[in-house]
Amino acid sequence: MSEGQGFPVIRLGRADDRAAVADVARVADAIRRACDATGFFYIADHGVPDAWIADAFEANRRFHARPMAEKEALATNHWHRGYMGFGTAKLTASARFAPARRPNQMESFFVRHEVAEDDPGRLAGQPLQGPNQWPDDPLFRDQVRRYDGAVARLGTSLLPALSLAVGEDAGFFGQRFAPPATALRLNHYPPAPADRPDDLYGSHPHTDYGFLTILAQDDVGGLEVQIPGGGWRAAPCIPGTFICNIGDAMARWTNDAFNSTPHRVVNASPERDRYSIAYFFDPNLETVIDCLPRFRADRPAAHPPVRFVDYFAGRLDANYVRAGKPPA
């Protein structure tokens, strides 16, 4: 493990279910130390081909360059899948921050885990268990699906190390991510206005709702992480890496011992658009998140047990507008 911009850079090597136990333990120790500190870390040697990442960014730029009418025709449906328009997301429900005064200066396109047409949850209208929406661009779908699959495999390969990091056996999280709930978010931030007020953000200070975020970002910069004492540290793009952070679901599992760290995006460039691809890797929707025994040995659990789908859908519904309606 090395340091990059003040955050650890963890080289994965063979840290997957085929790896030697010692290598998984090495990655687990590095993740644990990162989560005891800022909750952010870079990962290198992750196995996702550079060309696939470049294609996903090209797809991101191509989608957001479409005419607004075409994007709005894909407005987020009842299952939070599709296009979220510029300035339509505004933090209203957060455990740590007051509601935002201004909407986020960004637009996004969401693709979540695929759900078969005959899936019982989909037929019943279960939250998050619905169809994705796609533009009329077969190449876009191919590029995004290929990237999605690669990062899902990466997330799965990290589960043994994450299990050891919280003091459980290597298969602990794997049983609770079968299959995972995922969301790929293609983000576009326009250049900053010359007279940008201090409280105008690309993304308002927040913590992520889920378990693990795997982020690819361009070299424009803008991601900032809150550090102890309340200041903010830039977390720029390091070529060949993703930057990862744990979210509120992991914090609930560990009684807040693993830090779900606030972060924000400020595109300070008055000339360049910023693009990023956030991948949210989360437990199976039916998983019950309950504080692990070792983290409540010395103090009561801060959060009650909750089924992930109930917790997560509630957070999304509180903060994001949906265009669609539930099935009849």
Task: Please list the rounded mean pLDDT of every run of 10 residues in the chain (328 residues).
Answer: 77 62 88 94 96 98 98 94 82 57 89 93 88 97 98 96 97 97 97 82 91 97 90 95 97 94 89 97 97 95 96 83 53
Between the alpha carbon of residue 314 and those of residues 22, 87, 189, the distances in Å are 39, 21, 26
Main-chain dihedrals φ then ψ at residue 36, nearest 5 degrees: -75, -15
The predicted structure's pLDDT at residue 325 = 52
pTM of the model: 0.92
Main-chain dihedrals φ then ψ at residue 242, nearest 5 degrees: -105, 155
Pairing of strands 7-11, 107-112: unpaired
The predicted structure's pLDDT at residue 93 = 46
Nearest to 46 by CA among 219, 215, 242: 242
Pairing of strands 40-44, 7-11: parallel
The predicted structure's pLDDT at residue 91 = 52
The predicted structure's pLDDT at residue 132 = 97
The predicted structure's pLDDT at residue 125 = 83
> Which residue shows structure tokens 């910023």?
274
The predicted structure's pLDDT at residue 328 = 47
What domains does the chain contain, in order, with CATH numbers?
2-319 (2.60.120.330)
Give the Cα-Cα-Cα angle 26, 29, 32 (nearest 5 degrees): 150
Q: Which helix (H) or strand (E) holds 9?
A: strand 7-11
Show the tokens assigned to 324: 């669609």
Pairing of strands 203-206, 288-289: unpaired
Pairing of strands 223-226, 288-289: unpaired
